[in-house]
Each structure stands twice: as C-alpha cells, then as structure tokens.
C-alpha cells in the first residue's frame, strides 16, 4: 500500500509543470514579445501572467508604459536558443500585439475595436476573434496569421519574405514588396493596393 501511494505521488509530481511563476504585472493594453519564447494570450476579466517550464526563470516580463514586454533574460550575443518556457497572458482588453526575433505569439478569442499586429525577424503571430479594424505589418521572414480574426476593415503591409493572412468583411488596403505575401479573406472590397519587387496580394 505504501509503495502504491509513493508511486501515485511521484506520478503526480511528474505531471505538474517543472516551474510555474506568476508575474506581478497588470494594466497593460499591448504585448511585445521578443526572442525565441512562446506566448499564449487569451481575454479574461482580469490580468494574469504566468510563466511555466524549466527555463521560466530565464524569461523577463516587465511593464513599459502600457506595454507588457516579454523577452529572454541576458540574451546571448550570438544565437537565439529556444527556451523550455511558456508565457500565458490573460487581459480584459488589448490593442496591440507585436513579436520579434523569433518569438511566437498565439492569441485566442480576442475582441477589440482597433488592433495592431506587427511581426519581424522570423517571429510569428496567430490570432483569432473579432475586431472593427486591424493594422498588420510583417517583415524579415515573419508571419501573421489572422485568417480567423474577423474584422470589418484591414490595412496590411508585408515585406522581405514575410507572410500575412487577414480576414476583412468590408474593405482592405494592402502593400507587399520584396517577396512579401498577403492573402485577404472574408469578402472585403479591394482598397488601395501596391505590389512591387516580387510582392504578392490576393483577395479570396
């Protein structure tokens, strides 16, 4: 019997995250993630930020005005190692999400009036939900997948091999250059568009 109880306790311990750290940050309306970290975002009645994983202590979360900044602590000069850490963020409202230097941000069921999404340097953003208007920019091999983020209007730019997918039901303006690729779904009317130097824009 004692051996059985011991085994259950060990298995329970293994099932728990190796490290779970709540962070004392709140009252932010923007999220800016950088370095090779994974950030999961959802809307909720109150603010909460928790970092889990073996490398949780190596993730810095800090306030910069109304922006929650998330990045690696003491990032090495060379290389961008992927850390064993997940940052989970809950906020009542958001107006901006940005990612850079290989960061990955996944935001679900976001409801906003105006939203700004920006990704650069190999970062990736995926967002779902609804909004009135969205501004999206992506550059340097980054990607923004907002095909499940249903908005009334959109203004989109992609350059230097970046990819953007947006969902707009009324109007959309787009600019693609230097291999940037933009796809617009949702039935929006084509507003001003410009494609140059291998850029591509599609309205589906």
DSSP calls for 22-37: EE-----SEEEEESS-
8-state DSSP, 110: E
How far is the C-alpha of 89 from the C-alpha of 178, rounded, in Å? 34
- One digit per residue, the tens of pLDDT, for the chain of length 204 reads 444 434 433 444 444 445 589 999 999 999 999 999 999 999 999 999 999 999 999 999 999 999 999 999 977 665 567 789 999 999 999 999 999 999 999 999 999 999 999 999 999 999 999 999 999 999 999 999 999 999 999 999 999 999 999 999 999 999 999 999 999 999 999 999 999 999 999 998
* pLDDT given for residue 4 in this prediction: 42
Q: Which CATH number fits domain 19-203: 3.90.76.10, 2.160.20.120, 2.40.50.100, 2.40.50.90?
A: 2.160.20.120
Angstrom distances, CA of residue 21 to CA of 16, 56, 60, 108 = 13, 7, 11, 22
Q: Which two tokens stand for residue 166?
A: 């947006």
Closest CA to 52 of 90, 16, 103, 102: 16
* Cβ atoms of 142 and 162 closer than 8 Å: yes
Closest CA to 21 of 67, 42, 52, 43: 52
pLDDT in tens, 6-55: 443 344 444 444 558 999 999 999 999 999 999 999 999 999 999 999 99
Burial category of 182 from C-beta neighbours within 10 Å (exposed 0-12, middle 13-18, buried 19 and up): buried
Determine the Cα angle at 140 with ends 180 and 57, to 5°.
140
């Amino acid at each position: 019997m004692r051996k059985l109880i011991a085994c259950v306790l060990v298995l329970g311990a293994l099932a728990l995250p190796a490290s779970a750290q709540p962070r004392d940050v709140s009252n932010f309306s923007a999220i800016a993630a950088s370095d090779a970290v994974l950030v999961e975002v959802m809307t909720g009645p109150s603010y909460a930020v928790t970092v889990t994983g073996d490398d949780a202590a190596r993730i810095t979360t800090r306030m910069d005005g109304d922006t929650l900044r998330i990045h690696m602590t003491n990032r090495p000069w060379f290389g961008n190692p992927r850390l064993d850490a997940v940052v989970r963020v809950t906020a009542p409202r958001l107006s901006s999400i940005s990612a850079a230097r290989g960061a990955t941000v996944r935001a679900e069921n976001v409801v906003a009036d105006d939203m700004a999404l920006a990704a650069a340097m190999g970062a990736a953003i995926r967002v779902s939900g609804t909004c009135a208007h969205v501004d999206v920019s992506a550059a340097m091999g980054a990607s923004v997948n907002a095909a499940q983020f249903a908005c009334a209007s959109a203004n989109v730019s992609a350059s230097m091999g970046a990819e953007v997918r947006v969902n707009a039901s009324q109007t959309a303006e787009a600019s693609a250059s230097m291999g940037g690729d933009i796809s617009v779904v949702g039935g929006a009317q084509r507003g001003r568009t410009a494609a140059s130097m291998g850029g591509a824009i599609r309205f589906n």
